[in-house]
Structure 1
């Protein structure tokens, strides 16, 4: 198996499966919540905690390969809610997307990392200047590269970044057209299991979060549904953080990624339910300001209006 989750593992964004409702929906509300997910994401923990067994509304699921297309679907009104990495959300805020972050997970343990081939001369994060690193644009791993350069007092263009999808980044690393690959788990762990090597010194450079998003229209028109789904998802996240072994087994079944990979991931990283609070918003503002310094956005973004703490 190659060390990336290939696109064949994902449903297309428009292919949604329906979960039947078991009781009458809230009065006066749309009966269906349109939920975007990533493989091994929200649905796994909701099924594990039996949170989908007796919903008072229906859920239509759509699956996405990463946060960027999920955010696009949210802004287009194709889905009502979903989860994704926090860094990509900055770009959505900057373009005026009608989306809010209404929930969060905080990663306790390694977040994004950089992997290199086993024969690479790169061993520590302070050796990446002048190298070519693949990463998805605006992702949590892109943020890691920039934060590393700032911590070293080096220009933010000191690394030649190849903006590639996770799948294309994998191929570029294997083919030798890039020197490293900045990516997240389980892809990083899969790469290491197959002979790649982690670059050291990345811990603590950036706080890592996943965010739960809500479309503005859904927040206005489907608030009871979103609030109920938010509560169930937070309970699922809490269960996953406390039951790493069982969670790993479910992830292996859901994704087709070997169990030992997920056991490694869940043993070293816990994803804890977190509130939308001042600390989280301040962390996101730092990312936005870093993107401005790097020239990725053209004007300063105040991220605060992009967060809605009323669901906490």
Structure 2
């Protein structure tokens, strides 16, 4: 009798073990495809099937079946709602909505944790303020008494509040801030129904690139770090830590792939989201507007604390979060280790994606990136690089005269170093012909006063280039 009992118990344990191995595990991931900073944590992992490559297949996962579910959102708030409801396990979003994600989970008696950064800027680039293309406004200071719309409780809302405070304005008297989603703001800018709009990645660049807005403020002017990253339900992470590490290994590979071929993957992002490749390249390409960086730098930890305090100011919460436990880098550290990468070295590295390129005219290696110019010709797989902006303008003129379509021309801002859409920028031409680029008119004029030279809008610079080329052609004849 005892033998039969022991046999039954053993058989029961075997069946339980088999059932565990045969478990069907859901991996439900919320993404924001059009928020292109989330690409390496969502869109690229999904489209390139990178998660499947790293999911565990041994030990307790030997016979496990995975059900990978992807759901796309246009903002962080609805994504958070579904995470709190238990419909999603992972979610990618910015610092402000991510902090609200943590608050919302705690209010529901749960916990979420921030496990990685995906892309960000310790300076604050990515967030920005735009005005209608025909607006006479050239700077934030000129918006006093005006109406500015912004996606409420977004990372750009936090940037706007800090920018307004820096002007010394009274939020209740000196400016009118209204809530407006990017898709609504685009239409309002086209029809001049708002004076200005503040937004997050990529809209402060996307709207100007589409021709109906002009950027008059970059988040770097507020010097407030910002980032997008990934959160996971803490209970899920504790139950399936190996799956969390697998997801992060997929994100590390996605980051490596886009670094190696930024034009190729910028095209893929355009194909899937409608966000033009030239805007994607502006962020993800060499010396880009933001730095793709998975590590938890002190500046990003501080940005999270700032976001939580600003949420209190906005009365979106009366509770705080312990950032030391809300941000959890142990899974990321393990993913780096398994990927053969040094987390501590990456943590100390603040450099943007580097550029190793030769000048398209001389063929010489470019070493001065402060005056770098880049041209992306439609139909060409790679961006052209120029050590001299003057040479790039001359080449641009020749290409357009030949009927060639130009996707974009880029410049690096001489003061902040951020990448600019050159056709939206201001330039200072020195006596030796060198051109320095700036985002704003007053930045260019101040530089000209200090260093000599003349401040010119891109259109005036083009006219000057055409005249010079015509004179040169006449001389040759």
Give the alignment's TM-score, normalised by structure 2.
0.55
The one of the two structures with greater contact order (alpha-carbon pairs below 8 A, sep at least 6) is 1
| Displacement of 1:237 | 2.2
SS of equivalent residue, structure 1 residue 274 = coil
Please list the CA deviations of residues 118-143 of structure 1 after superposition, one character each: whole Å capped at 9, or x if unmatched.
Answer: 22232212333322111111111111
Deviation at 1:214, TM superposition (A): 0.2
* Offset of residue 50 of structure 1: 5.4
Structure 2 Cα separation of the partners of residues 126 and 305 of structure 1: 39
CA apart distance, 1:253 = 1.6
- 2:29 pairs with 1:35: yes
RMSD over aligned Cα atoms? 2.9
Distance between the aligned counterparts of 1:174 and 1:47, measured in 2?
34
Residue 370 (structure 2) aligns with: none
Unaligned runs of 5+ in 2: 1-19, 58-65, 333-477
Residue 97 of structure 2 is aligned to residue 88 of structure 1? yes
Per the TM alignment, residue 49 of structure 1 is displaced from its structure 2 partner at its CA by: 5.9
> Residue 113 of structure 1 corresponds to which residue in structure 2?
128
1:30-53 deviation per Cα after TM superposition (whole angstroms, max 9, x unaligned): 522111112253343225765245
Tell me: CA distance 1:245–1:140, structure 2 relative to 1, closer, same or farther (3 Å): same
Contact 1:125 1:202 (C-alpha < 8 Å) held by counterparts: no
Query: Which residue is equivalent to 2:270?
Result: 252
Q: 1:101 aligns with which of 98, 108, 114?
A: 114
Taking the TM superposition and a 5 Å limit, the aligned residue runs for 1:219-238 are: 219-238=237-256
What is the SS of the residue equivalent to 2:162?
A: helix
Counterpart residue number, 1:177: 193
Query: Would the aligned equivalents of 1:125 and 1:201 in 2 still touch at CA under 8 Å?
Result: no
In structure 1, list runs of 5 or more residues that go unmatched.
Answer: 1-25
Deviations, residues 257-306 of structure 1 (Å, cap 9, x unaligned): 33333334434324422323544222211232234345554455544332
2:308 is the counterpart of 1:288: yes
Distance change in 2, residues 1:46/1:294 (3 Å): closer
Q: Distance in 2 between matches of 1:47 and 1:60?
A: 10
Range with bigger deviation, 203-212 or 27-36: 27-36
- Which of 214, 217, 227 is matched with 1:197 structurally? 214
Instruction: State the TM-score, normalizing by the size of structure 1.
Output: 0.81
Give the total of aligned pairs: 289
Instruction: Give deviations 1:75-100, integer Å, cap 9, x for gaps.
Output: 11111002111111232333425321
- The structure having more radius of gyration, on CA atoms, is 2
Q: 1:256/1:79 Cα in 2 relative to 1: closer, same or farther (>3 Å)?
A: same
Instruction: Tell me, in whole angstroms, the C-alpha distance in 2 between the residues paired with 1:227 and 1:181.
Output: 38
Q: Is the 8 A contact 1:103 1:211 kept in 2?
A: yes
Q: Tell me whether 1:153 sits opposite 2:162 in the alignment.
A: no
CA gap of 1:28–1:126, structure 2 versus 1, over 3 A, is farther
Indicate conservation of the 8 Å contact 1:44/1:250, yes or no: no
